[in-house]
Amino acid sequence: MKLKTALLGAAATLAFAPAAFAERGADGNVNVLYSQAVSIMNAYLSSGTKDVEVGSLVLEPLAGFDQDGNVIPRLVTEIPSVENGGISEDLTTITWKLTPGLLWSDGTPVTAADAVFSYEYCTHPEGGCAQAARYEGIEKVEALDDLTVKITWTGPKPNPFTAFVGATSPILQAAQFANCLGTAAPTCTEQNFRPIGTGPFMVTDFKVNDVVELAANPNYRDPAKPAFATMTVKGGGDAAGAARAVMETGEFDYAWNTQINPELQAQMEAGGQGKFVSAFGTLVERIEMNMTDPSPDLPEGERSTAMHPHPMLSDIRVRKALSMAIDRSLLVEVGYGNAGRPTCNLVPAPAQFASPNTDCIAQDMEGAKALLDEAGWVAGADGMRAKDGVPMKLLYQTSVNPVRQDFQALIKGWWNELGVEVELKSVDGGVFFGGDPGSPDTFQKFYADVEMYANNFDGTDPEPYLAQYLCDKAPSPANGWQGENINRYCDPAYDALVAELASTREPEKRSEIAIRLNEMLTKDSYVIVPLVDRGRLSAHSNTLGGVVLNTWDSELWNASDWFRIK
Amino acid sequence: MTDISAIEKPRSQWSDVWSQFKTHKGAVAALTVFVLLILFVTVGPFIWTADPTYINPDAAQMIRTRNKPPSWDFPLGTDQLGRDMLARMMKGGQVSIAVGLVAMTISILLGTLVGVTAGYFRRLDGPLMRLTDLFLALPLLPLLLVMVMLFRDPLSRTLGPEGGTFLLIVFAIGVTSWMQAARIVRGEVLALKEREFVLAARSIGTPSRRMILRHILPNVVSPIMVSATLGIASAIITESALSFLGLGFPPDFPTWGRLLFDGVDYIQQYPERVIWPGVAISLTVLSVNYIGDGLRDALDPRIRGR
């Protein structure tokens, strides 16, 4: 075992020789463009991806995720597990061992007290911590000695890699943030703009919503990294402009989130200045079927609630037919190109939780028509279907977005061919996702028959995500239209299985249950009709090496490995 | 023997106006363009019968007909879903021109009514002008959004999604854009009121109603015409802004404004996609402006005949 590891290490050293032996700061400056400008470096005070990611260049967690979703050590010697004793047998504690000799960028040592402080900082009762979910279910965090952090959970925690893992729960320097607890947190401008960190870079100049200037951290744990002496992170513009700045004008080396139409992607790539990189996470564009009646004739407060089942969509044959009529490959081709792939799953990744189901990929118009005939919806003289004199008519809503409007037009075409009348509606994204209980147009209220949007889950464990579809999580007037069970799906068997998942510890059993839950929502019931597994798409210049896109952690997770190709 | 034919036929006022209008070359050209545009959107669909929302259900066919440049099959090319641009331009034009004209009519009627009343009756001047100030101070877009939010559902239930939206948009634009016209008209009326012919008319006991209709209104036609022409342009643009925010017509319902917004994403690869609706909107606005210009000259007795 030892020998094998040593050999692997030697091989890796040889493979990465040009980069690994490069001197720190030998490659000059690297320019990064974020189309949304950075407003703060402290991930605890912002839920914006751009702030978390740029902040991750400076502030690091104990461990992170690699591009496959595996947990990798950052400030610790190894990842705790039940086998190495880091996680207790009953799954109620986890113990992290810090790497000895770690220094902050100001030269002071990193200790376990800093981790305890970070926990206190985010869970302070008077502070509004944006990442509080990472610390849910913790009873206490203690420093056993200078290098040992022990987290005790309130109950067994099958997935303990939430606190101090990933860019959204970094370690702050206790000495720097000591006076920034609770309500004082947002007022600590100097600390939030120029945090002292352990990451490969440190802030030299910060202009809010404009530009961040960084320089290599002289005390970074790997003496050969980072290869760049300075980094400039510029903010502003839009996705197309960002892509152009890397792919056409060459002003920038890296651009974040360059989601543009497939043809423009191909055209820009043909220029030969740079490359688009994509990676797939858990973001799925889907159609949600309303299981309750959204008819405007119902009194306010009863519309789209469990009191009235949907007259058409509560029949599974109708839902299945609507799904079968869709050609997902064409949707990908039109809307996303390389940054998307057709999917039938609500949970498309990580691999151990993804169902192998691909039944929905092939379009089957004839089968769908037969299924509707069987369900009693018969085509009339004009080709439109009706049952007992009620015409088959759907209201299909989504947010304003060019790709979504194209999808609406295409899907309306297929459903019309099926004999279903479709009325389209698009709502401004700010309103649709705004969650205002007073607005009739939010996706939670779902005053439509079907709606389309995309959603994903944080981290690598789908349990909380799948638990959104419990009966009691349906939005209704009683809970102020808050709740994640958008379809008002309700199956006691599903609820029981979710409870079983929460109490299951063995990884194999967990993935088995998660796959089952995913299938209950998709191919068994067609309540959720997944369309496209959407990847993250970024662009980098051909002269920038070492870029590995990661959807499980910060996109800049390995910025310390970036180098200039000469 | 007297030569009857030597006596000229009596000239009516409108034939005078027309002969004056004809001398304005720009206005005649603009009128021709405008009539052609109207014919394009009204008669056009009967000649070019392609369905503006037709997407080829065969995926392979659809992919092949996407983003086509102009050809005999698709005179203006196709869009990103293979829909025929010519048919979409015609359908879109019907809506845009109708919205422009109707909204303009509403706003001009309101503006003139308020302006003339405020200018002519001194007691109403204060309250009406404060009302105008109030409307001017209101932020229009949020107001429109609230109106759309409140009334869209009930209207589309009674009149269908398209009819209801049309009525709502036209009305919303109309009642939020009459203020400029009202102010200009009031100013003109105030000046006219002091003129000798008004004094003369009043001295023989002309009632207010006739005074306004016969003496005041014909003399304020020119500023009304000018603001009307500008109104059409802004109505078309406001409609496209509303459609863009998702509060106008349903997303698959083409209007020139929506075609323009859809095309922006493809401006680099297929510039014609924004050029067609852009040119159509510009031509409409420009031609209406020129027609207004010619009409103003023709309707002004001081210029006419010179």
Cα angle A339-A49-A337, degrees, rounded to a multiple of 5: 5
Among the ranges B35-39, B218-222, B293-297, which has the highest mean pLDDT value? B35-39
pLDDT reported for residue A2: 52
Residue for token pair 């700045």: A245
Whether A409 and B269 lie within 8 Å, measured CB to CB:
no
Closest residue to A410, CB basis, from B81, B265, B266 = B81
**Residue B151: inside a domain:** yes
Phi-psi region of A389 (alpha: psi -120 to 50; beta: other; left: phi over 0): left
Tokens found for residue B161: 């999604």
Q: What residues contact residue A233 under an 8 Å CB cut-off, 6+ apart?
A: A32, A33, A34, A38, A54, A57, A211, A212, A214
Question: Residue ranges of the alpha helices (H) in A179-261?
Answer: 189-193, 239-247
Calculate the average pLDDT of chain B.
84
Per-residue CA distances from A490 to A56, A486, A494, B217 (Å): 40, 11, 8, 68
Which residues in chain A are contacts of B62 at CB distance < 8 A? 330
Phi, psi of B24 (to 5 degrees): -85, 100
Number of Cβ within 10 Å of residue A144's Cβ equals 11
pLDDT reported for residue A14: 45
Phi, psi of A39 (to 5 degrees): -115, -15
Q: Which residues of A203-233 are buried (b: 16+ CB within 10 A; e: fewer)?
A: beebeeeebbbbbbbebbbeeebbbbbbbbb
| H-run or E-run covering A426 | strand A421-427
**Residue B58: inside a domain:** no
Pick out chain A residues at pLDDT < 70. 1-22
CATH code where residue B37 lies: 1.10.3720.10
Find the closest chain B residue to A405 by CA distance: B251
Is B15 exposed, middle or buried, given 0-12, 13-18 or 19+ CB atoms closer than 10 A?
exposed
Cβ-contact A45, A61 below 8 angstroms: no
The amino acid that residue B33 corresponds to is V
pLDDT reported for residue A16: 47
Find the closest chain A residue to B261 by CA distance: A402
Handedness of CA A18, A22, A27, A30 (dihedral sign): positive
R_g (Cα) of chain A, nearest Å = 25
pLDDT reported for residue A327: 92
pLDDT reported for residue B230: 75
R_g (Cα) of chain B, nearest Å = 24
| H-run or E-run covering B64 | helix B59-64
Pairing mode of beta strands A450-455, A393-399: parallel
Cβ-contact A388, A356 below 8 angstroms: no
Q: What residues contact residue B109 under an 8 Å CB cut-off, 6+ apart?
A: none
Which residues in chain B are contacts of A428 at CB distance < 8 A? 245-247
The verdict on whether omega for the bond into residue B207 sits within 30 degrees of 0, i.e. cis, is no
Cα angle B98-B101-B105, degrees, rounded to a multiple of 5: 135
Total tally of structural domains belonging to chain B: 1
**In this model, does residue B254 exceed pLDDT 80?**
yes
Alpha-carbon gap, residue B88 to B277, rounded angstroms: 10
The amino acid that residue A313 corresponds to is L
Alpha-carbon gap, residue B252 to B248, rounded angstroms: 11
Whether A334 and B81 lie within 8 Å, measured CB to CB:
yes
Alpha-carbon gap, residue B227 to B232, rounded angstroms: 9
Alpha-carbon gap, residue A143 to A146, rounded angstroms: 7
Number of Cβ within 10 Å of residue B99's Cβ equals 28
* B272-299 and B256-264 helices, crossing angle to 10°: 140
Which of the pair, A345 or B222, is modelled with greater confidence? A345
Alpha-carbon gap, residue A217 to A58, rounded angstroms: 9
Handedness of CA A318, A320, A323, A329 (dihedral sign): negative
**Residue B66: inside a domain:** no
**Residue B50: inside a domain:** no
Find the closest chain A residue to B145 by CA distance: A428
pLDDT reported for residue A437: 79
pLDDT reported for residue A5: 54
The amino acid that residue A496 corresponds to is A
pTM of the entire structure? 0.79
Alpha-carbon gap, residue A98 to A77, rounded angstroms: 6
Find the closest chain A residue to B80 by CA distance: A334
**Residue B115: inside a domain:** yes
Which residues in chain B are contacts of A334 at CB distance < 8 A? 66, 80-81
Cα-based torsion angle of the residue sequence A123, A124, A130, A134 in order, rounded to the nearest 10 degrees: 0
Pairing mode of beta strands A390-391, A393-399: unpaired
The DSSP string of B244-285 is HTT-SS-TTS--HHHHHHHHHTTTTT-THHHHHHHHHHHHHH
Q: What residues contact residue A289 under an 8 Å CB cut-off, 6+ apart?
A: A310, A313, A319, A322, A449, A450, A487, A526, A527, A528, A529
Whether A426 and B246 lie within 8 Å, measured CB to CB:
yes
**In this model, does residue B202 exceed pLDDT 50?**
yes
Cβ-contact B118, B129 below 8 angstroms: yes
Tokens found for residue A135: 């610390």
The DSSP string of A329-363 is HHHHHHHTGGGEEE---S---SGGG-----TTSS-
Domain, as residue range, for B273: 15-44+82-299
Q: What residues contact residue A27 under an 8 Å CB cut-off, 6+ apart?
A: A227, A228, A229, A563, A564
Whether B81 and A426 lie within 8 Å, measured CB to CB:
no
Per-residue CA distances from B178 to B115, B170, B172 (Å): 10, 13, 11
Pairing mode of beta strands A230-235, A29-34: parallel
Whether B250 and A410 lie within 8 Å, measured CB to CB:
no
Q: What residues contact residue B301 under an 8 Å CB cut-off, 6+ apart?
A: none
Write out pLDDT tens, residues A401-450: 888 888 998 999 899 989 999 988 888 777 788 777 788 888 888 999 99
Beta bridge partners of A214: A203, A231
Residue for token pair 């986890």: A94
Alpha-carbon gap, residue B68 to B86, rounded angstroms: 12
Q: Could you give the 3-state DSSP secondary structure of residue A77?
A: coil
Alpha-carbon distance B65 to nearest alpha carbon in chain A (angstroms): 12
**Residue B9: inside a domain:** no
Cβ-contact A343, A310 below 8 angstroms: no
Comparing A32-41, B8-17, B250-259, the range with the smallest average pLDDT is B8-17
Eight-class DSSP state of A132: G
Per-residue CA distances from B202 to A210, A410, B114, B120, B188 (Å): 68, 67, 22, 13, 18
pLDDT reported for residue A19: 45
Q: Could you give the 3-state DSSP secondary structure of residue A5?
A: helix
Handedness of CA A128, A130, A131, A132 (dihedral sign): positive
**Residue B276: inside a domain:** yes
Residue for token pair 């974020």: A34
**Residue B261: inside a domain:** yes
Cβ-contact B280, B254 below 8 angstroms: no
Phi, psi of A465 (to 5 degrees): -65, -45
Alpha-carbon gap, residue B306 to B303, rounded angstroms: 6
pLDDT reported for residue B306: 52
Write out pLDDT tens, residues A481-512: 877 888 899 999 999 998 888 888 788 898 99
Alpha-carbon gap, residue A475 to A452, rounded angstroms: 17
**In this model, does residue B220 exceed pLDDT 90?**
no
pLDDT band at residue B239, thresholds of 50, 70 and 90? confident
Alpha-carbon gap, residue B103 to B126, rounded angstroms: 27
The distance from CA B151 to its chain's CA centroid, rounded to whole angstroms, is: 23
| Chain A residues contacting B via beta carbons under 8 Å | 240, 261, 263-264, 267, 296, 327, 329-330, 333-334, 363, 365, 399-400, 402, 405-406, 408-410, 412-414, 417, 423-428, 439-441
Alpha-carbon gap, residue B120 to B131, rounded angstroms: 16
Beta bridge partners of B74: none
Whether B81 and A261 lie within 8 Å, measured CB to CB:
no
Closest residue to A425, CB basis, from B57, B245, B250 = B250
Alpha-carbon gap, residue B141 to B153, rounded angstroms: 19
Write out pLDDT tens, residues A317-359: 999 999 999 999 999 988 888 889 999 999 998 888 889 888 8
